[in-house]
Every structure is written in structure tokens, then in C-alpha cells.
Structure 1
Amino acid sequence: MTDRSLPEDPEALLRLGRELLAAQPFSTLLEARLDGFWPGRAELSLPLGPSLLQQYGHAHGGVIGYLADNAMTFAGGSVLGPAVATVGFSINYLRPAQGERLVAEARVVNGGRRLAVVRCDVSVRDPAGPPTLCAVAQGTIATVDRPGS
């Protein structure tokens, strides 16, 4: 597999994405999970436990930002190849995030040879009700040189 080539088989792509996520110690610490990974799209989630809340009992903004950033990077990487990084993003917090699971759904708006612009919706999901949108983000993902290449 070259730096830009990714598996075409959906199950193989999801498997590769989960391996890449598992290689990120911070994502492992937060118990992040790659729930879906398709060309141009990614869905990441994490359990919203007490250690991820701020003083008012809502998800800490840094946790929401992490999830949006990582989901956008996965979505961008699905069109640019696995050697990518976020070069910038903005996020708008719409309402406090309280609930069981935080979910980020990212999709590529435009992808070129070296850059992809990605949008992301971050919601809280609970089994008892519909998802609640709590933040929206947009970012730019770029290809990077891998160490040693």
C-alpha cells in the first residue's frame, strides 16, 4: 500500500482505520471508537464519563474539540491517504453536551491532491432519545511526510 492508497473493501478500510486509531495513545485513553469509515466520511465516538466533564457537568470543550478534530482527520485521510494531519480547524459550540456517548460525524467537502476541507457535526446520543447536536466544526487536513520516508 502506498501512502495514498487505501483498501477499497469497506470492511478492510474500517479495520485499517481502527488499527490507526488504536495506535494513538490519547484516543485509547479516552476510549474513542471508530464506528464508521468510508471514502470521504468517518464517524468516531467516545463514552462521556465523569472524568471528561467540566465543572458544570457538561462535556469539556477540549473533549468535543478532540473528537471533531480526529473525525475530520480520518475523513480527510480517507481521500488523501493515511499520512495526514490537521493543519487548522474551527469549532462552534451550540449547546452543552450532556449524555451517554459523544459522536462526531465528519464528511469531506472538497478533496484535492494535498488538502481536504472537512465538516463535522458533534452530537450526544442516549438510548432514550434522539441525538442532540452540540457542536459543528470545519477543518483543513493535509498530507504529511512520514518520519523516515
Structure 2
Amino acid sequence: ISNSLRLQRASEIIFMFTRIMTDKGLEKLMFSSSTMFKILSYCSATQRKASVCVDYYYGEAELGFEDLERGIDFVLQNHGGSKGWKDATTAKMKEARFYLKGDFRLHTKNGSRVADHCLIHALSDPNDAQFSLQCDSPTLPNPHKHDLKCGRCEIVK
């Protein structure tokens, strides 16, 4: 089991697996959730628990999502709103959390036509030419334009 999967809880792994199988139209080949939990409980790899200490940005992201959840509760209590709105907003936030903790990492690469997945674009400073690269520069091994969008990244925004 890869280290990136060892950072995920069993429910997150099952959620990602279910999404992939559904996207590929292979729902009928899936096990039930209880069977998948049982398989993961017998898996020899243990879950890494110290990632928050090592990778502080995971911890900061978790705190950010907790703040957003408290904000949703505050809006609901003080400004009205329906339980349906809260449930829908919380579900979108949960999906965003799973995506950012799991699949997003798999999509990023040095040169991507999706700006949100392009490491060159992300690490370039638009205000300092010494720390900036143009992704369509012919000097790069894989010059490209950012002419595609990722639907899941757009939802997170």
C-alpha cells in the first residue's frame, strides 16, 4: 500500500475507490461497504498517524475545514437557513476535503494543461521574474498552455 493511501482513513479510501469505480461504470464489480472495511482492517499496512506533525500543511488544512464547519453552524444559528442547506454545504466540503487529501495529489505534475494541477505554474511568482517560469516557454521540456479545467478543482473553489 502506497504511503499516500496510508495517510487516509478507511472511510476515505472506500470513498475514493467507490468514486473511481462509479466513474468507470464498474459499480456492479464493487463489494459492499462492510466487506471493504473488513478487507482494509485485515490489510498488513498500518495507517500513518504522524502526518500532521510531519506535514504541517495537512494539519492546517484540517483546522481550516473545522473552521468552515463552525462557520456553517454559525450561519445556520444566527442568520437562518435550512438543514438541507447545511447538509448540502457540509457534503460539498467533505468531498472537497477528500479530493484535496487524496486525488488532487495524484493529478499534480510538472507540466499540466490544467493550471490547478501544474506545479510550474503553482511555484512561479508572478511578481518576481527570477522565481517565475512561463509554462508555454519553448525552453521547457514540455511547453504547454493552461487551456483545460478540472471539474473537481472548480467545485473546491
Higher Cα Rg, which structure: 2
Q: Which has the higher helix share?
A: 2
**TM (normalized to structure 2)?**
0.27
Q: Relative contact order (alpha carbons < 8 A, sep ≥ 6): 1 or 2 greater? A: 1
**TM (normalized to structure 1)?**
0.28
